[in-house]
Structures are given as structure tokens and as C-alpha cells.
Structure 1
Amino acid sequence: MKDSFKHQGKRKQLVDVIKAKGITDPAVLNAIGKIPRHLFMDSSFLDHAYADKAFPIAADQTISQPYTVARQSELLQVKPGDKILEIGTGSGYQTAVLMEMGATVFTIERQNELFKKTQLFLPKLGYRPKRLIFGDGYKGLPEFAPFNGVIVTAGAPFVPKPLMAQLAIGGRLVIPVGEKVQIMTVYTRESETKFVKKEYGEFRFVPLLEDKN
């Protein structure tokens, strides 16, 4: 679990890269600059860990491109103390970014291999989500709703209704919607019945898997 000066220097370079791509939220930049991304990958390949690209992890999933993580985090507009629901824990890197931003994180993973691994790994780095649950992200976590924000870290063919329903008034759902290519979409809940939708360009994600059991 080594985090050397070299790693820290590479992270600083990564922060400069995502800044140049338009990320301005200081809380996001601080989180990316602080979290040892190389530890979230199976191999501590320096060249890959701090390059702005996605990388394979267990269970045919990926650790998202740092710019994508930063963009979703920025669109979520996290304030310290916000209750955030994350759909797709994956490696736990996005979870760590949200926690560095001061969020109280509830996170769901449906790949058992990843769930077990991340459940053990995150606390070793000092990140303890409020809940890390093995389950179906399409259903959300109604028992802990409402949430100030919901973030979906996989491509969704459609927007799951339960996730909309679990947003607090003023809350935001950040979700990549589409089959092969996804459009980053933000829904802001303005009232019980009114949602405002905005789109923020194309991204590519592994698909959000619905529980078939």
C-alpha cells in the first residue's frame, strides 16, 4: 500500500490534465490529487494509473477514466454532509472521491467478486461508506432515501424510475444514458413531480447490469 513521491507527482500532473479539460470544482480537483488511484488497480502500473484513461479491473469491469469521474462528481455538485447514492461501486475509486468531497456515501455493487474485494479494500485506505451493499442498483435504496444526489457509474439503457423517486427536492441524478455510447444526463428534482433534464455530451461506460435473479 505504498504511495510514493513519484505517485504524488504523477497525480499532480493528472490534476493539471483534467483542469485543462475544463474541470474547475476545487473539491473535485483536491480529491483527484489526494487519492492514490494506483492502489485501486490490480497492478500498480504507474503509466496506467495516472494516465487519463479507463483501465480494466475484476469481473470484466473498468475503473473509469479520471476525467469522467471528475466530470460526474462536478455535475453532482456535492456539498459536505450531502447524502449520495452511488450505483456501481466498482473499484471504489468514485466512492473515495465522493467521500473526499465530504459526502455521506451509500453505494451498491451487483458483481459479487468486486463487492467483496472493495468492501475489504476501502477501509484499508480509511474510506468507510455509510453503506456498501451487494444488490441491484436499478432499485436504489428506498429505505435510506431521500438522497441529495444519485450517481450512476455505468451506462444505463434507460433511467430507472426508482432512482428518480429517491431524489430529495433540489437533488441531482447524474446518469450516462444510452446503449453503445452514452449521453451524460443530469436530472434536477425541482418538486415532487417536476424534474429538469440537461445533457452534457458523449461518454463511454460499461453497461449497467440489471439483476436477473
Structure 2
Amino acid sequence: MARKILIVEDDPDINALLARIMQQQGYEIVQAYSGTEGLLRVEGDAFDLVLLDMMLPGADGTAFVSRLRGELRSGTPVIVVSAKAGLSDKVDMLSLGADDYIVKPFEPEEVAVRVQAVLRRSEGTSHAAAESGDGEERYVFKDLELNAATRRVTLGGCEIVLTASEFDILRVLIQAPDKVFSRERLYEMVWRSGYYGEDNAINVHVSNIRKKLAAVCPGEEYIKTVWGIGFKLS
């Protein structure tokens, strides 16, 4: 069955272009032209991924992701596609729970590759029940436990809800807890595509992981920054 992608973009030409790119990759497409329409779509149907503009009528991109991750408690991957190229815009959206951020104007090949990468990472979440079984791939570090088959993370027995990007970053780190990973290496291993200089994306996702772990265990550090190099488990 083809993956279903929701495109939320108010510019008809860009919406149509994104639709063509996705259809050429074999995806099923649903189009929305405002944030409000996009939210109605996700409330009434299941999607494998959302391509989201920032500046939208009705609910803007920030409000869309906030409601998706908050009130709707949805883990559907979101890739922001926006003309807003400021560092603060990227940080804000990634901090809210967006999985990736593409700046307009974009190359069709980049959009296709990034969608493929995010869908690859989220596949384990959507098919967790089918993948669980006797051969579970589990990692334990201190009180932190990661189950790769079910894509479930617990800390001291309390479940930690991570986005697809956050889970895969933590999975890389916990597989080799004594190794320091550069931001570039983490990006390449998690996104499995060309490195786009997105050091900041890694920083924000690691910060999100730290906050979620600290909310459960505030007195313990689990991810250490090795200045000038990258990150490792602490």
C-alpha cells in the first residue's frame, strides 16, 4: 500500500509542485491549502507524513505542529518546507517536534530524499507490533532502556515519548555509549542522506531528548556534549 502524505501549503503552484514530486515517488497525496484545513485532515484521517508550510492562513505552521504534538498527541512525522530561513525559525519548529526543515526554494531531489529518510525512520513506529518478538534488539544504559523493535524508550520504568528523529539519534548513541559522535556523523547516520550542514538540527533534537529525560530524572545527565566534537552518552 502506498504511503499517504498530506501537503499543507497555501500557494497553489508550490502545493502542486510538491504533489508532483511525491506522486513521482509513488506516494498517495492529499492536499490542504490552510493550516485549519490541514488540522481537519489529520483529525479525520491517518497520514504517514506531513509536508508543512510555515506561513499559512488559519492556523500557521507553529500552531499546526503545536496542536499535532500537543492536543492531538500525534507522532506523525512533519517536514517543514518554508521560505523562512532564519536560524530561530528552524530551532523553534524543531523544538516543537518537527522532524526536518527544508528551505525554499528547494530542489525536488532534496525533498524526495528527505521524505524517504524520515519515512524510513518512522516505519519502525508504525509497524512496531509486527517487528516485536523473540529477537528484540534492546540496549540498556544506567536506568535508560531502548527497544529498537518496538521503538520504545523507558527511563526508570517510565516511558519517554520521542519523535522519530529523537529516537534514532538516541539509538545511535546508546549502541556505542563510549564513542563520541560528531554532529555531521549523527546527521548522516540518522537521515541516511547527504549532509546538508544541519548541525543545528542535531543540536535541537539532542536538546529535546535531554529535556524529556530530565523531566523524568532531573538529577542525572545522560547525554554529554564534547565541545568541538559532538555528543556521547554520559
Find the structure with the greater CA-based Rg. Answer: 2
The TM-score with structure 1 as length reference comes to 0.31
The TM-score with structure 2 as length reference comes to 0.29
With a CA cutoff of 8 Å and minimum separation of 6, indicate the structure with the bigger relative contact order.
Answer: 1
Larger fraction in strand: 1
